[in-house]
Each structure stands twice: as C-alpha cells, then as structure tokens.
Structure 1
Amino acid sequence: MHCAYCQGLFTRNVLWRHIKVCKLGPEGFTPKPGKNRVQSLCAFAQPVPSHISKALWKALSLMHGDEITAAVKNDSCIIQLGEHLLNKGGSTAKHEACIRQKLRELGKLLITGRNVASLKTMDDFIHPQNYMKMVQAVRHTCGYDSEANTYKTPSLAKKLGISLMKLSKLMKAKALIAEDHCLAQNFSNFQEIHKERWCELISATAARNLEESKWNAPTVLPFTEDVQKLHAFLNKMQDELIKQLSAEPTSKYWSELAKVALTQIILFNRRREGEVSCMLLSAFLSRDSSDPHDDIDWALSEVEKKLCRHFSRIVIRGKRGRPVPILLTPKMLNAVELLVKNRETCGVLKDNVYLFARPSAMSHYRGSDCIRSFAKSCNANSPDALTSTKLRKHAATLSTVLNLKDTDMDQLANFLGHDIRIHREYYRLPEKTLQLAKVSKVLMALEQGRLADFKGKNLDEINIDPNEEMELIDDDEGRSEVEDETYEELGEAMQEESPEATQVPPLDTALISLPERKKSLKIPSVKGKTHAQKRRKAWEVIEIQAVETHLKNFISSCRVPGKLPCEQCIRAEPSALKNRDWQSVKFYVHNRIVAYKKDLSHNV
C-alpha cells in the first residue's frame, strides 16, 4: 500500500511504522494507534476509482483491508448498491457503518460463490438460470447443516435474501433506463423465482432456527433495587463532577461528567443507548424551551402543570429516522449546559458535532460502555441486567401493573419509540405537553422505585410532585399473617353481609355517617388461621369521622393503607378508636374504596 504523504510503497504490516517517521507528513501530526487506522488513512488518499463516488470511497476506506473488501471494491453491482444505500440514507457515520456491513455480507457471499458454485460476479447471482447455485452459495456462507436442517448464522441468511432482492430491483431499473428490455426481463424472472422459492429453500428454516433459539432463553429483567442503586450512584457522582469541572475545567472531569450525564439520560428516559449517544450538539442548542401554552392548562391537573415546567424536552433522531423525545430533569440540564460551556476549553474539537463527544477525537462516547461500567461500580446485585434494552423492557413490563387506558399505553409506547398501531384521535394536546406532563410521571415513579404504589391507576390519576419526595410505606410491615391469603375473601364477605357499607354518596360530599348496624358481621373461617370466627362490631359515627379525618387521602386515591398509617390514625384519635385495631381501620378503608368505585361506575 502507498503512503498517503510520500507515495512510497510499503507492506501493510509495517506501514504504520513508516507513517510515524515520514518526512513529508504534516507537522505536528500524530497518527492514531493501530494498523487498520493507518491503512484506512492511506486507502482514502489513493486515487478514487472512476466507478465509485468520493463519498462512498471514503466510507469503504474504513473497511478492514482483506479479500472481502477487495471483492466489494471490484464488483460493480455491489458498488452500485452501496451508492444507492448512501444516497437513500445520507452520509452519517452510523449509516455508513450499516452500509459497510451490508456490502461485506455480499462480499462474503461473492467469495463463497466463486469457490463452491462457479459464480464469478454478483451479476451471476441474480441471473434466473443460476438461482439454485445462488442458493447453494448462500447455504454454504451461512453454515447450513443438512442433517440437522439448521444454520449457524440464520440471521445472515435472511439478510442476504433481502439484499439480493434489492440488488435485482436496482439492476432492473438500470436496464430499463438503458432500454435493455431483455436484461430487465431476466431480473424480473429472478424476482419471480425468488418470491416463490426463497421461503421454501432458505428463509423458512432460518426463521425457525431464530425462533427456536429464543424459546428457552432466560428472561432477564433488572431489579428495582438495582435501578435505584444506579440512580443514587449517578446522582452522587454528578454532584461531585459538576463541582470539580466548575472549579477546574479539564478533559478528565469533562469526560467523566459526559459519561455520567449520558448514562443518566438513557436510564431516566429508558431510551435506546445508540439514540442518545449520537445526540447532536445542535439538537440540544435548538431545543424548545418555551412554556406550555396557557390555553391548554385547563386540560392538565396542578401536578401536571408543574411537570410541564419542571422538565426540558429535546427531540432527536431515533430508529428508522423517527423523531423521539428526551426529557431532562433540572439537574441533568445543568450538567449538560456545563458540558456545552466547557467543550473547547476541555479539548473537544470544534468540528465534533456530537453532544457527548470524546476530547481530541471526532467520535462520541458509547452509552452501552458507560452503563456497563457504572452498573459494576454501583454494587448492583445483577449488573448484567442493567442494559438499555433490558431497562426498556423493564419499563414496559412493569407498566402493566398500572390500569392504563389504550390511549395512555399508546403514549408510553410512543415515548419509548415502539410501534403504534394507529394514530388515535386522543392527541388533542400537543405531543410535547403529553410527554412532559404524563409520561414523565411514569419515569419518575420508576426512578424512585414507587411504581407499585400507583397500581390500578391511569396516567391522569398519578400524582408526583417533582419538587417533593413522597413518603414510602413499607408494605411488608403493614402486612399481617391473615392478610396475604384472606384479604379479598374477607372484604367480599363484609360487603355481602353489610350492603349499606357500599351504598354511600361520593367522596366530595360532607363526612359520611352510616346508620347503626343491627347485626354484626361474621368473618368466614379461614383454614389454618387463628382469626377464624372473629366478630366485628358496627362502626359508630365518631369512629367514622376519626378515620375519615386522617385517612381520607387514601380513600380518595383508592389506595389501601398499610399498618403504619392505620396505627398513626389510632394514636391520633385514641378515645374514638379505642375499640379498634389497625386491621379494622384498614378493612373499613378498603370497603369505602370499593363503594366509591362502584358509585363511580354507576354514575358512568
């Protein structure tokens, strides 16, 4: 290979040594370590072949210099497919990497076809008379085992089928432009054969292999405790690094804070790590920082209005070019603004367009590497489960404990970047407001490990103040021996034997006074428990008023209190509730919630 500066001819293995001492090299130039980097530099400096555009040549120069790369560069069909993909997707670094991967797949197939099926060029692969030879080459490339009827790499078999069909359509269009109808008919015949026989010969077996490999794969989800540990660890690091970077702007502090901020944004938003890692500086600088329109405040609760002004929102490019939102808390926003302010001071190149850039380089930090490193450092019980993909699945799985309507579920799915079946008419509010006011509540509940507290609620009923920390109730402490197995059975029996407990007016009326019961409730026997034939006495007005005064919030929010708040209520009203234990108070609140829900359903 020729040197990019002196044009001397050297073997590839020693070229990197020559570049270090080349007398014609630019002053102050320090080549990056590694043989492949030097070879890519020299390959790009070579004259661009006439059949390859400069943009594609630049992308191909980064490919590893081996026989596959040589086959790709010397085949006109593969080059035309590369030009097509580059024109379609643009010259971004991420898209160029995908193009190189697809072209190398075809390069492997081409080399295999030359060895096992006498197919010399990619034109031969898409000729209808060579279809069975092409199938033989694909099977050999993907490691097909005829006895077990399995592929070593079934995903490659499916990808090659798509690439061959795309290549045949591209070559057919070229033949039609040149008015070569005979050649165009050949490609049409190949496409007809491909549609009829590819599934039978290749893709059905490959799809079955892929599906079977997932059957017994363990489902790994992160523990809520580990997520909380990681959040706490990152928050502590962020506070320390902000102080250090503000006092002494250095590349080390800037890099560490960039990694922490990148991980926090991925973790809080449950976003794909590649989407956040590639976030552009321009996307952050051009974010919409205006307040929500006053005319739409009527559709939001007081808490949702606060959330709209608490979070900042950035829209970035996501999977398949879809716009995906990113929500930033004030602490995250402060950290990112500090990073932007000190970019050039800390050695980030001016031409680097990424927000989480590497100092003295044109690349960015990878979110997967950052999450993996911090997951191990925070002493999580299962650090391998803390990945962006598993965290996204964790959020989607745990959201099923909420009583989300279809529209609410669509909002959450849309925020996570999942496919939505149809765009419903529910989107009357601006999408920005819905994500800031509603989806952010789920994210905050996940961050605090409190999602179970809002079981059975929809997004409108969840209330979390971003500036306050709500008290966590220990469910294990509030759980009695009987409650775990007989809670629902006891509640239903009380409702059947005392119907007046469920016929109450709505909660927005004055304090409720129940009529005196003429008979007490008999609790059904429970096998293996000591509370078998316990009797309950009718509730008096003074007792009802005492409970409603201290536990009305639980009733209005349809949450059954645990042991701790019930005991606090009894201690606050010792004279009124002297004949009641905490379980009696708890079951009373449970009946009130059931009555309230039934009343609401009747009104609807």
Structure 2
Amino acid sequence: MPDNMILPPEATGAEEEPCSSQNINDTIVVSACQKKDGKRVYNKRHYCLYCSKPYAKMARHLESAHKSKPDVAKALSFTKGSNERKRQLHYIRNKGNFAHNAAVMETGKGELVASKRRNVEALGKDFMHCAHCQGLFTRKVLWRHMRSCKLKPGSVAPKPGKNRVQSMCKYTGPVPSHIKKELWEVISGMNPDPITDIIQHDRVIIDIGQHLLNKGGPSDKNKQNVREKMRELGRLIQSARRVTTLKTMEALINPKNYMETVKAVKFTCGFESDTSRFLIPSLALKLGNALVKVCRLLKAQGLISNNKELVKNASEFLDVHEEKWNEMISATALRNIREAKWNVPTLMPFTEDVQKMHAYLSQMQDEWHKSLSESPSTKAWIVLAKVCLAQIILFNRRREGEVASMPLSAFLTRDSTDPHEDVDWALSEVEKKLCRHFSRIVIRGKRGRPVPVLLTSKMLCVLELLVEQREACGVLKDNGYMFARPGAMTHFRGSDCLRGFAKECGAKCPKSLTSTRLRKHAATLSTVLNMTNTEMDQLANFLGHDIRIHREFYRLPEKTLQLAKISKVLMALEQGRLAEYHGKNLDEIGIDPDEKALDSEEDKGSVEEGNFSTVDEPSAEETLPPTEGGEMQLPTCKRRKPPSSDDEMPSSSAMEPFPKGRATQKKKKKKMPWQKTEVQAVERHMNRFIKSCIVPAKSDCEKCLRAEPEALQNRDWQNLKFYVYNRITAFKRKVQRK
C-alpha cells in the first residue's frame, strides 16, 4: 500500500472524538409518573419563573405571590376559567420550567421537568423543548405536539418531517455563554449533525464566525455565507480527527503540524494520489483562504491579549503557508479546474429561444393577471409571482438570487419621482419617453453592491396586484420578501422558475436559458456595439460586474474567436495571400472558405476583376460631406482600427486586388461609371463604413445588394467593397492636405 495514500476513516480505525453536547444529558433523568395502589399520585412540581421554587399549584402561587408582575397581571385580567387565561398561565408555567431545565442542563445536576411524564424513568437526552411554548417533550412525539401547539404564532408554517422539527427545536435552549445570540441564530439554521457539534465547541470556529458576521452584517445572505464558512472549517476538523492526531482548529494552525493540516485538507477534498486530482478542487482553494483568515484572526487576538506564543504560531504558520500551499495544494487544484473546462461546450442562449420565452411569459402574465384580479386564489398568486419573477430576471439579465430575495420594502419605497428638469435637456425625446415608461428599484447585489432593476409598466401593474392580494392569498404577514411563498417564511427560487418556463415555452435549448448564461450572453454580445468606455462602465455597473472582470472575461467565446478570426490568417497563409491584406486588422479581412486558391497563372488570368484593376480618384460628389463648420473631420470613437495615414496603399501592391502583372495577363473590361441612383443606394446602407474608415466585409456588401436589388443589379459585392475603399482613401487624402 502506498505511503502517500489517504485512507478512509473506517480503514484507519480512527474514531471521532465525541462532542460534549452529545453526552450533556446522559446523567440527567426525567422522573416517571408514580402510582400507589394502582392509582396515580399527583406529586409533580412546577418551578416558578420569578422565585425559582417548585409548587404543585402554580396558578394559585402566581396569583397570591406575583400578581404585580406584568405577565401575571395580564393573565389574571381575563375571565376566570377562560381559555385565554389558561393559555397565558400555561405559558408562564412553561417558562419557569424552562429556566429550571436550562440550569440543570448547564450544571448537569438535578431532574428535568417534562410537560408529560412517561410511565418509566427516562434519560434527558430523549427530550427536547418546543420552540413555541418551551414545554419539554420526548423527541418522538415532538412533531405531533408542534403541529397543534396552542402557543404557535400564526405566521409560522408547520415544518414537515420529524427531523426538521427537531432541527428547529434543538437550539431553543439557553444560549451558551461563549456564543453571542446573533451567532447562535446562525448556528441554529444548521442541521443537527456531528459537524454542527464540532462547530459549537471549537472556540476558533466560533470566533471566525463572529468575525465574519460582524464584518458582513445581519442580512440573510451574509448569515448563509457565515454558515457555509463555519461548516467548511468544521468538515476540516472532522477529517483531521479521522486521519491525523489533531483535534481542534488551534492545533491545525501550528507550523509544526503544517503537513498534518495539508493531509487533512487533501482528505476533505477527496485527493487521489495516483492521478494527482482533487474530487472537489474548489473546496481546496476555499480552505486555503479560510486558513489565512483564521491565522490573521488568531494573530490579532494574540496581540490584544499579549499571548506571544499564539502570535508566534500564527505568524510562522502564515510564512510556511505562503511558501508551501501553492506547491502542495493550490497548483494542483487550479490545474484540475482548468483541465475540467477544456472541452466543456459553451452554452449560449439562442435569440430565438429568448424571444419565445419573452412571448410565453407575456401570454402567461396576461392570463393569470386577469384570473387573480377577478377571483383571488393562492394558485393564481403563485403562478403570477413566478411569471413576474422570471420576467424581471430575463429582462434585466439580473442574478436570479438578487431578484428572488427582493424585499417587499424595496418595492414599496421605490423612487417614483420624475427626472429632474435640469437633466431633461440632456436627453433625446426617445430617452425622455423611456424614463417615463420604466420604473427603477435598487436592490442588494453581490458583495453588497447596489444594483438597479428596471420594470416595465406591465410588470409594475402585476407587482402592485401581488402586493394588494398578499394576505388574501395566504402569504404570511411577517414574510418580508416580494416573491414570498404562501404559508412559509421563504421566497420562490428564480432558477426553478426559469427552468420550468424554459421547458414550457418550447425553446430549442432550454438548458441555456439560465440567469448566468443570459447575463453572459448580454455582456458578450455588447462587444459588437461601438460603445465608449463610459457606456461600457454603465453596462457593467447595471449588471453588477466589476469593470475589470467585465472587460477580461465577457468577450466572444474563445472557440468562436479562433474559428472566426484566427482561421482567416491561417487560410491566407495557406493560399499565399497574406500580403494582400497589408495594413488591415482581422475584422477587415474577408476571405471565403469556399474560395479556391489561385495557384496557376492560368487561374489568375481568368479572374474577373470588374473595374477594380486600379484605384481611381473619386469625383467631387463621391467625397464625404463636410461637417456643419465646413471642415472635414476624422471620426473619433471607433472600435476597430481604421487604415492609418502611414499606409501608403495607392503605391503598394497591397492596395490592388491582385499583385502587379496579374491584370496585364487578361483583357480589361470597360469601366462602368457609377450612376447617381447607385451611389445613393450604396450610401443608404454603407455610409457607416465610410464615416468610420472601415472597409466592409463580403457579408456586409451582400446585405446591401439584397436590400437594393434594382438599383445595384449591375454590381457585385467586389464593386461595392472597392467603391467604399475608394471613398475612404479620398477622405483620408483630403484630411491630410488640410
């Protein structure tokens, strides 16, 4: 067996160290219901919330000794024997028992007081407190009690399943002294498992969780992020206990144990030594960053508490980590991630599919808007909310999680004022209409960035109807999400909505219609627009991208670039025609893959050049029109590089369609002068190329021919291309003379 092979836990024989939380109630018992002569003995005692003493008749004790307390006074204000009076007194009694049980669980001494006692004595670990009434029940019947608990708030929906109920109730006990209440709420959202137990009892993980919670704020998104980071470290400790002798996070952050830490990381991420691959390479990178954060936090704590040993260990671990981590972990993980992407097909949405989905959602919107307006129902509200959620994601190209978690307050407090009068003068009439047609909402985006969401008038109308019918359709009052689930405290998932509607609308490739691919589609296709840097910044800000990332990654796919651009150079080299494209960029090279290479002199002489054997000086009416001031100006904003003044193309062979000597080998055709109707037809479609000093491609010329079949019936695509080229050359010469 190889020495470097990491064994599974069952092969190593290593056992997980039991957490104290698993055994906290092993010595604590719940007394049984007693009987004498076959009859039940009523000797149960309840503990007072205010004086912490046991009493058999708690209602009588509260009325005689604590009637001045606000909660007791409120309970006694109701009619004697009424259900509300009993409910209030029952809750006060349960709170007193809960306080007593918390003290017993903390000290490990005494007996727990259960709401219902069993016939035999039971261990305390078999019981849990109800999250609503704080009564103590056995785990097996807790789910049944919570379904009918009289103190359950109306805004809380019942959780299905016994395990989920126990997960909800596990953390209703007292908050441990070493954990703050805010962080305890974060931990309470985790499933009760060995990793959660490790997290609760590791001081360093608790500190890093509190640090991240303080840094990111109390938002639900940040709480989920803190939860994930804490569980990553918990998994690392769990793996370390299986394959090493290390038991705590502080032991992992020790320079002497660095190789043991690396071994635990490899085990956690499923490292295969034979193939040098990680099953989860991204987790390896995350753990590396997490270890750095832990080191820095421990170093800061050591400096504050003047713990020199802690500072030394953290500093030296960082030095070793910086030197060895790339060699041991990250280089391999990054290589695995890159290799996994090499032959993965790039899925991009088809424009036809996007249009189909827009049309389908619009139809669904009209149908269910009418249904909800006429007869409110939960089903109509759900479908309309899902349709509107998908529409907003699709129209704005927004991340699905950002729109799905939109708070109701963001919609209700949106800015509905008209644009400022001083700004109106800078807008065109079309832009002014657009400002009045769309509404804008700002929501929280990635990394806390404010990102806008634009709403059409129809979307706005639908959202207003959804808000109006929320409570009538079963949406809980305390649910603060715009797209809330009726009867729950959560919201609909945008990815689920998009996936469902993509299949229903009949799209050719439903898998491509995801929020991520739609965003990349918009950002990538924006590169074909002649956008200034300012406009590109505005688009990146709207999409919530960092402009550097936007420019680096959101380009045409590498596969497309290589097939469409680089192949031109390779074909020109193959045919020996690279010299023909002297001074041109890749966009200006037009070469047909079906075009035959001119290998023989006989082939060269048979090519019909039309009137392109020489470049003529255009006439006065063919020159570009002057500006309003009467002067010629070069265009300033160009995406492609125009031919520069240094390119002496009229005197070079590259300026001619074919090298010198080729035209003398055949009989020249008579030139046909350009008619006024032909010039006007070309300028209607090709004027943008002339003004931007860009020679059109073959496809652009063929589009012009198809658009003007009558006016240009005696011309081919080469005639059009050289006509535009002549105009550009004359324009440049005229500017140079000035």
TM-score interval, smaller chain? 0.7 to 0.9
SS at match of 1:325: strand
SS at match of 1:118: coil
| TM superposition shift of 1:65 | 1.2
Residue matched to 1:440: none
SS at match of 2:471: coil
Moved more, 303-312 or 266-275: 303-312
Q: Is the 8 A contact 2:244 2:264 kept in 1?
A: yes
Structure 1 pair 249–27 and aligned structure 2 pair: CA distance change class (3 A): closer
Moved more, 286-295 or 129-138: 286-295
Instruction: Establish whether residue 356 from structure 1 lines up as the match of residue 491 from structure 2.
Output: no
Q: Is the 8 A contact 1:135 1:201 kept in 2?
A: yes
Instruction: Establish whether residue 10 from structure 1 lines up as the match of residue 128 from structure 2.
Output: no
| TM superposition shift of 1:98 | 1.6
Structure 1 pair 179–505 and aligned structure 2 pair: CA distance change class (3 A): closer
Q: Is the 8 A contact 1:555 1:589 kept in 2?
A: no
Residue matched to 1:506: 625
Instruction: Establish whether residue 368 from structure 1 lines up as the match of residue 500 from structure 2.
Output: no
Q: How does 1:195-214 map to 2 (within 5 A)?
A: 195-214=322-341
Structure 1 pair 138–584 and aligned structure 2 pair: CA distance change class (3 A): closer
Task: Please list the CA deviations of residues 288-310 of structure 1 after superposition, one character each: whole Å capped at 9, or x if unmatched.
Answer: 33333343445444333332333
| TM superposition shift of 1:493 | 6.1
Task: Please list the CA deviations of residues 171-209 of structure 1 after superposition, one character each: whole Å capped at 9, or x if unmatched.
Answer: 222222222223222222222222222222111211111
Q: Is the 8 A contact 1:151 1:209 kept in 2?
A: yes
Residue matched to 2:530: 403
Q: How does 1:522-541 map to 2 (within 5 A)?
A: 537-541=672-676
Q: Is the 8 A contact 1:20 1:30 kept in 2?
A: no
Structure 1 pair 216–586 and aligned structure 2 pair: CA distance change class (3 A): closer
Instruction: State which of 348, 351, 360 in structure 2 corresponds to 1:224.
Output: 351
| TM superposition shift of 1:168 | 1.9
Matched letter for residue 329 of structure 2: I
| TM superposition shift of 1:345 | 2.8
Residue matched to 2:708: 566
Structure 1 pair 28–182 and aligned structure 2 pair: CA distance change class (3 A): closer
Instruction: State which of 239, 246, 260 in structure 1 corresponds to 2:366.
Output: 239
SS at match of 2:485: coil
Instruction: State which of 204, 225, 233 in structure 2 corresponds to 1:77.
Output: 204
Q: Is the 8 A contact 2:361 2:391 kept in 1?
A: yes
Instruction: State which of 310, 319, 341 in structure 2 corresponds to 1:183.
Output: 310
Instruction: State which of 173, 176, 181 in structure 2 corresponds to 1:54.
Output: 181
| TM superposition shift of 1:133 | 1.2
Matched letter for residue 10 of structure 1: T
Structure 1 pair 588–147 and aligned structure 2 pair: CA distance change class (3 A): closer
Instruction: Establish whether residue 337 from structure 1 lines up as the match of residue 464 from structure 2.
Output: yes
> Where in structure 1 are there 5+ consecutive unaligned residues?
425-481, 510-521, 525-531, 571-576
Structure 1 pair 592–203 and aligned structure 2 pair: CA distance change class (3 A): closer
SS at match of 2:441: strand
SS at match of 1:2: strand
Matched letter for residue 165 of structure 1: V
SS at match of 1:345: helix
Q: Is the 8 A contact 1:493 1:523 kept in 2?
A: no
Matched letter for residue 115 of structure 1: R
Residue matched to 2:105: none
SS at match of 2:341: helix
The CA distance in 2 between the partners of 1:255 and 1:347, in whole Å, is: 10
TM-score by length of 1: 0.75
Q: How does 1:164-563 map to 2 (within 5 A)?
A: 164-421=291-548, 497-500=615-618, 503-506=622-625, 537-541=672-676, 543=677, 548=680, 554=685
Instruction: Establish whether residue 129 from structure 1 lines up as the match of residue 279 from structure 2.
Output: no
Instruction: Establish whether residue 116 from structure 1 lines up as the match of residue 243 from structure 2.
Output: yes
Task: Please list the CA deviations of residues 487-541 of structure 1 after superposition, one character each: whole Å capped at 9, or x if unmatched.
Answer: xx999965954532684242889xxxxxxxxxxxx999xxxxxxx9987733444
The CA distance in 2 between the partners of 1:303 and 1:500, in whole Å, is: 38
> Where in structure 2 are there 5+ consecutive unaligned residues?
1-126, 552-591, 597-606, 629-655, 659-666, 690-699
SS at match of 2:546: coil
Q: Is the 8 A contact 1:6 1:24 kept in 2?
A: no
Task: Please list the CA deviations of residues 51-90 of structure 1 after superposition, one character each: whole Å capped at 9, or x if unmatched.
Answer: 1112211221121111111111111111111111111112
Structure 1 pair 101–375 and aligned structure 2 pair: CA distance change class (3 A): same
Q: Is the 8 A contact 1:48 1:57 kept in 2?
A: yes
Structure 1 pair 180–585 and aligned structure 2 pair: CA distance change class (3 A): closer
Moved more, 321-330 or 375-384: 321-330
Residue matched to 2:266: 139
| TM superposition shift of 1:342 | 2.5
Specify the structure having the higher radius of gyration (Cα).
2
Moved more, 227-236 or 33-42: 33-42
Structure 1 pair 491–288 and aligned structure 2 pair: CA distance change class (3 A): farther
The CA distance in 1 between the partners of 2:406 and 2:156, in whole Å, is: 29
Q: Is the 8 A contact 2:253 2:314 kept in 1?
A: yes
| TM superposition shift of 1:42 | 0.7
Instruction: State which of 90, 101, 105 in structure 1 corresponds to 2:232.
Output: 105
Matched letter for residue 129 of structure 2: C
| TM superposition shift of 1:14 | 5.8
The CA distance in 1 between the partners of 2:519 and 2:151, in whole Å, is: 52
The CA distance in 2 between the partners of 1:492 and 1:169, in whole Å, is: 75
Q: Is the 8 A contact 1:250 1:346 kept in 2?
A: yes
Q: Is the 8 A contact 1:244 1:253 kept in 2?
A: yes
Structure 1 pair 30–151 and aligned structure 2 pair: CA distance change class (3 A): closer
Structure 1 pair 302–508 and aligned structure 2 pair: CA distance change class (3 A): farther
The CA distance in 2 between the partners of 1:332 and 1:495, in whole Å, is: 60
Matched letter for residue 334 of structure 1: C
Matched letter for residue 165 of structure 2: V
The CA distance in 1 between the partners of 2:488 and 2:217, in whole Å, is: 22
SS at match of 2:453: strand
Structure 1 pair 97–50 and aligned structure 2 pair: CA distance change class (3 A): same
The CA distance in 2 between the partners of 1:598 and 1:348, in whole Å, is: 70
SS at match of 1:239: helix
Task: Please list the CA deviations of residues 108-131 of structure 1 after superposition, one character each: whole Å capped at 9, or x if unmatched.
Answer: 111111121111111111122222
Matched letter for residue 201 of structure 1: M
Q: Is the 8 A contact 1:278 1:354 kept in 2?
A: yes
| TM superposition shift of 1:592 | 6.4
Structure 1 pair 598–178 and aligned structure 2 pair: CA distance change class (3 A): farther
Structure 1 pair 533–362 and aligned structure 2 pair: CA distance change class (3 A): farther
Matched letter for residue 257 of structure 1: L
Matched letter for residue 3 of structure 1: H
Residue matched to 1:463: none
Q: Is the 8 A contact 1:142 1:156 kept in 2?
A: yes
Task: Please list the CA deviations of residues 459-503 of structure 1 after superposition, one character each: whole Å capped at 9, or x if unmatched.
Answer: xxxxxxxxxxxxxxxxxxxxxxx99979xx999965954532684
The CA distance in 2 between the partners of 1:216 and 1:62, in whole Å, is: 39
TM-score by length of 2: 0.62
Residue matched to 2:588: none
